[in-house]
Chain A
Amino acid sequence: MASADPYFDFLLRMGDNTLILGHRVSEWCGHAPVIEEDIALANTALDLIGQTQMWLGLAAEVEGKIRTADDLAMLRDAWDFRSALLVQQPNGDFGQTLMRQFLFDAWHLEMLKGLIKSSEVRVAEIAAKAVKEVQYHVERSGDTVIGLGDGTAESHAKMQAALDLLWPFVGELFTPDAVDDAMTANGIAPDLNDLRTAFDTHIGSVMTEATLTIPDSRFAHKGGKSGFQHSEHLGHILTQMQWLQRAYPGASW
């Protein structure tokens, strides 16, 4: 169900994307192939969770302070989440995690660049803060995609498989719906169609350098950001992420 206020929905989309991806990436903590990558993944997750606090904090204010950012993160069920299907996808192997990260980062960067010019000053401020971190994320995820794609025969095959697997989840990020249209109409957010060219150029050059082939299809799975049809994975993430607050309501330290 869409809420009555598209602005609230839009803020949930931004915050839920960073929350779910931040949680996913944090699942690597202590498990990455080398310690430097472990630290890099944990730092990326931390930035994303920090951005979540800003987006969901603003969403909570817009809603009328009925719920806090913590309530929104920890006490909503799957159908009330507005995260894109891409960020819900499982980590898979290290290469698949970094491919998902790069595809998201490349979209995130263009989105935030557009949001810096938002008619809503609070949105513009959050975007200006977050874009500095995301610029750094995409440099690293892009470099890693190149390193592994143009690596050994095995790493190349794994990266191509990851790209083939995740590619159908890219389209949702660029397909406007009623919420997006409302945001574009009042100047809060950029037109998603306008972000695609810069995204395609960016990922095109990285994939070429990585010797990877982008699938020749624009087929897109949809239903995450609208909440209409989430992947099965989202519910499983929430059982982990929300367990403590569900078992011990109001617990803090």
Chain B
Amino acid sequence: MRPNVAQIWEWLDTVPDPEIPVISVVDLGIVRGVTWDEDTLEIAVTPTYSGCPATSIISLDIETAMLDRGIAKTRIKTQISPPWTTDWLSDKGKAKLEDYGIAPPRAAGGPARCPRCKSENLERISQFGSTPCKAQWRCCNCLEPFDYFKCI
């Protein structure tokens, strides 16, 4: 019997992002659709940044997770439209990011507060960071640098 789609979404929510393992691929908002095509499970995945090297690992991780749950045939469909936006990050994901030390994205274009000491006295170090989705900021209060998840 085929597991229902709601069950698949729950399982997908246990697949971590390979670069930011505290959030799942569902939290990240890159899983865009789950459908059955007879005995093949089709999962639509959208890349965050077009050159993000994690994308192929994510597809592999999803296929492996489905195989572990007994689904023999999974097809990953790369879907670029509509383009990924940080608006698709779940609230749960945003909270986990901040706990992990990464300031979540904000429409205002910068972090709200230091993820460590919560100070709002911040400065930008660089528009880019350790992965394509992040920028480097620093807290002027505790002086710690931190990652900010870019808002796109």
A residues contacting B by CB (< 8 A) are 36-37, 39-40, 43-44, 46-51, 53-54, 124-126, 128-130, 132-133, 136, 139-140
Q: Mark B45-88, 1 if CB is under 8 A from A, else 0.
A: 00101111100000000000000000000000000111100000
**Complex Cα spacing A130 to B49, Å:** 9
Contact of B82 among A39, A126, A128 (CB under 8 A): A128
B90 CB within 8 Å of chain A:
no
Q: A125-B81, A128-B83, A136-B127 are in contact. Are A50 and B47 (CB under 8 A)?
A: yes
* B66 CB → nearest A CB, Å: 25
Q: A36-B136, A54-B80, A126-B80 are in contact. Are A133 and B49 (CB under 8 A)?
A: yes
A contact patch SS: helix
B residues contacting A by CB (< 8 A) are 47, 49-53, 80-83, 125-130, 132, 136, 150, 152
Is A50's CB under 8 angstroms from B52's CB? yes
Contacts of A47 in B (CB 8 A): 49-51, 132
Contacts of B128 in A (CB 8 A): 36, 39-40, 43-44, 140
* B60 CB → nearest A CB, Å: 14
Task: Show 11 residue pairs from A and B whose CB-CB distance is below 8 angstroms, ordered by the A residue.
Answer: A36-B128, A36-B136, A39-B126, A39-B130, A43-B132, A46-B52, A50-B49, A53-B51, A128-B81, A128-B82, A129-B47
Contact of A133 among B50, B53, B129 (CB under 8 A): B50
**Complex Cα spacing A44 to B51, Å:** 9
Contacts of B129 in A (CB 8 A): 39
Residue from the set A53, A129, A139, A140 with the largest chain B CB neighbour count within 10 Å: A129
**Complex Cα spacing A126 to B47, Å:** 12
Q: A36-B126, A39-B126 are in contact. Are A54 and B136 (CB under 8 A)?
A: no
Is B126's CB under 8 angstroms from A50's CB? no
Contacts of B125 in A (CB 8 A): 36
**Complex Cα spacing A169 to B17, Å:** 42
Contacts of B47 in A (CB 8 A): 50, 129
**Complex Cα spacing A63 to B127, Å:** 38
Is B51's CB under 8 angstroms from A49's CB? yes
Is A140's CB under 8 angstroms from B83's CB? no
Contacts of A43 in B (CB 8 A): 128, 132
Contacts of B127 in A (CB 8 A): 40, 136, 139-140
